[in-house]
Structure 1
Amino acid sequence: MAVMVAMQIDAPHTPLRRVERPVPRPGAGQLLIAVIACGVCRTDLHVADGEIPARYPVIPGHEIVGHVLEIGAEVEGFHIGQRVGVPWLGHTCGQCGYCLSGRENLCDAPEFTGATRDGGYATHVVADAHFCFALPESFSDVAAAPLLCAGLIGWRALRLAGDGQRIGLVGFGAAAHIIAQVAVWQGREVYAFTREGDVQAQAFARSLGCCWAGPSTERPPVELDAALIFAPVGALVPAALKLVRKGGRVVCADIHMSDIPSFAYSDLWEERQILSVASLTRDDGTSFFEMAARSGLHTITKTFPLEQANVALDRLRSGALSGAAVLIPPREDTATASHD
């Protein structure tokens, strides 16, 4: 019997461990996918730390690039061998008011890849075909992986920022390094905020076209039209409010954030807004990948073998990565075997 290899979280605050399981079969409306690469996202840390709803044990990972191995019943538009991407939003009910009004990212009964259904820290994954994307050919497998969440969530956050020309990116990691390039390509001014003393991240931001880079404790030389927060630190919200102009927006792009401390109403007054990003819609994905193919953006990645998933997560937690970590599963011929 063919088996798949995966790195599994058994319970919060425990290291991932290597497991073997039978290769799953796709049901109606599903695809069986051979995973080529899977990005490591901060949301995976939230799953590992029990900070967001998840079912355990679970295989994390929701920035999945792979090839279609098997197609379930009632699936159209895909073929065997096709390269596809699988994002965080893994399934919606299609029946609630949010789904019916084009806001499926707010679905009342969603499933999330790598949290409430098994994800891509594995050699194989089963995914809902409706939530799989064709990927631009201009991106390699590894380069495409961070686009499936860091890119998509950054894109939704930027769309929520509106038409503002002066954009602040608070927390310059995987998402910010992608969306900075997009905003620069759009002709916007981008201001990058990093951890105190992280001159490497500041230099990295400037190399991607940011016109200013400094610590989050420092004011930029201009008022911002919008600030996008990619770090899960609630104290950054009132700090960002002080940086945006009248009518400006602060967009919180992380799925989990520490408590936001109290702040003076005067900091919010004059029609400033605080918004949050809740997952993505398929329209976000379609528009983002079309834009990504035209913009010439590139992702900065560091690859790790699948079995070093704990190492990659530790590097992410400590802020020791520039760009995004990507896991590479073993080849299918070494990940499967015959068992009696």
Structure 2
Amino acid sequence: MSKMRAMLLESLAPIETNPLKLREIDRHQIKRPNEILMKIDACGVCRSQLHGIEGDWKKYGIPPALPTVPGHEIVGTVIETGPKVTKFKVGQRAGISPLYGSCRECDYCRVGKEHLCDLAEVTGESLLGGYAEYITITEDFATIVPDSMESAYAAPLFCAGVTAYKAVMASEPERGKKTGIFGVGGVGHMAVEFAKINGCRVIGFARSKSHLDVAKKVGADNVIEYSSNQGEFLSSLKKEEGLLDSAIVFAPSESVTDAAINSVKKGGTIVLATFGNIPSFDVTQEKTVRGTLIGSRKDMADVVRIAAENDLKVIYKTFPLEQANQVLMQLKQSKIEARAVLIP
């Protein structure tokens, strides 16, 4: 059987110990008639992989088994198709999001919310992950990537992009609405843009100047440094902007979530796009707190279309596949400006 290079996680450990090992493993082969085989061109690096590798998310069952190949925002070139494939031809490019598959029959799947399916399969929580040279997937769960997009540009759209888009839509964006983005990194910088496309006034919040600069670069109307002293932070916000109509939280921190809830006016909406607890909630203010999770296949296709139509800025830097440990270390240290992309 043909082999392929992959960064394999054999045991959970701090990223400082270089737990991802470059291995030669069996190359994936088409097993179902509706599958495509892709040669991976690019795979974005998501913070969720860091949490999975280091064992932070064991309580959520992530990863479900070892060994595994991480990576769930993938763009590649189709090199082989199953006999029943009609959507793709050899030579076309396709993208894969965290949503690798679903049952297609439950109440969620029937209404186009297959990402909520109890049997949904997640890319990169098995040996089918993007930190490798090849991957297979059924044609229905792969998205066509237009010729106008470079693979390294498109890859972050397939997790960061759809997560940002879905979170913005959950905030019920409207022209002139004041929306705060808490955490302007790999996901947050795209949320700034999706909110601007929808006509919102967007304020970016981050602890570091580099991330505030990213928010400005992609069109935030204002940026405010986040302070762990909530009183000081809310005072700065009220002085510069007043209270927000909505807030979207990408920073996995209870204190940030609490500050976001308190930064929104009565009757406003707070969207949580990360794991975390809600420290306190005053029901008398009639605020809505809403969770959001990646997106459906339609959401994914919409993100690719909107990115192409609006020349969406995706801020990324490429690295060789073999440097996955070092890249995740930089991510842990907040040294990645926005998104890192691995190139096999």
Q: How far is 1:73 from its partner?
A: 3.6
Q: Secondary structure at the match of 1:8?
A: strand
Q: How far is 1:108 from its partner?
A: 1.2
Q: Secondary structure at the match of 1:18?
A: strand
Equivalent runs, 1:1-340 vs 2, <5 Å: 1-13=1-13, 15-28=19-32, 29-50=34-55, 51=57, 52-53=60-61, 54=63, 55-116=65-126, 118-164=128-174, 165-195=177-207, 198-217=208-227, 218-219=233-234, 220=237, 221-254=241-274, 256-257=275-276, 259-261=277-279, 263-265=280-282, 268-329=283-344
Aligned partner of 1:32: which letter?
L
Alignment RMSD: 1.6
Q: How far is 1:247 from its partner?
A: 1.8
Q: Secondary structure at the match of 2:187?
A: helix
8 Å CA contact 1:111, 1:117 repeated in 2: no
Greater CA drift, 99-108 or 169-178: 99-108
Q: How far is 1:74 from its partner?
A: 2.7
Distance 1:140 1:57, change over 3 A: same
Q: How far is 1:89 from its partner?
A: 0.6
Q: How far is 1:71 from its partner?
A: 1.1
Distance 1:326 1:85, change over 3 A: same
Distance 1:264 1:24, change over 3 A: closer
Aligned partner of 2:328: which letter?
L
Q: How far is 1:250 from its partner?
A: 0.9
Q: How far is 1:90 from its partner?
A: 0.4
Q: Secondary structure at the match of 1:320?
A: coil
Q: Return the TM-score normalized by structure 1.
A: 0.90
8 Å CA contact 2:93, 2:146 repeated in 1: no
* Runs of 5+ consecutive residues of structure 1 not aligned to the other structure: 330-340
Q: How far is 1:264 from its partner?
A: 4.9
Q: How far is 1:117 from its partner?
A: 5.1
Aligned partner of 1:190: which letter?
V
Identity of paired residues, percent?
35
Q: How far is 1:213 from its partner?
A: 1.1
8 Å CA contact 2:38, 2:136 repeated in 1: yes
Aligned partner of 1:296: which letter?
D
Aligned partner of 1:180: which letter?
V
Aligned partner of 2:204: which letter?
A
Q: How far is 1:190 from its partner?
A: 0.8
d(CA) in 1 for partners of 2:25 and 2:287?
Answer: 51
Distance 1:20 1:226, change over 3 A: same
8 Å CA contact 2:173, 2:199 repeated in 1: no
8 Å CA contact 1:182, 1:295 repeated in 2: no
The C-alpha deviation readout for 1:55-95, integer Å capped at 9, x for no partner, is 21110101101001111243221101111101001010112
Distance 1:31 1:264, change over 3 A: closer
Aligned length: 322
8 Å CA contact 1:7, 1:306 repeated in 2: yes
d(CA) in 1 for partners of 2:30 and 2:242?
Answer: 53
d(CA) in 1 for partners of 2:47 and 2:324?
Answer: 13
d(CA) in 1 for partners of 2:190 and 2:284?
Answer: 31
Q: Secondary structure at the match of 1:93?
A: coil
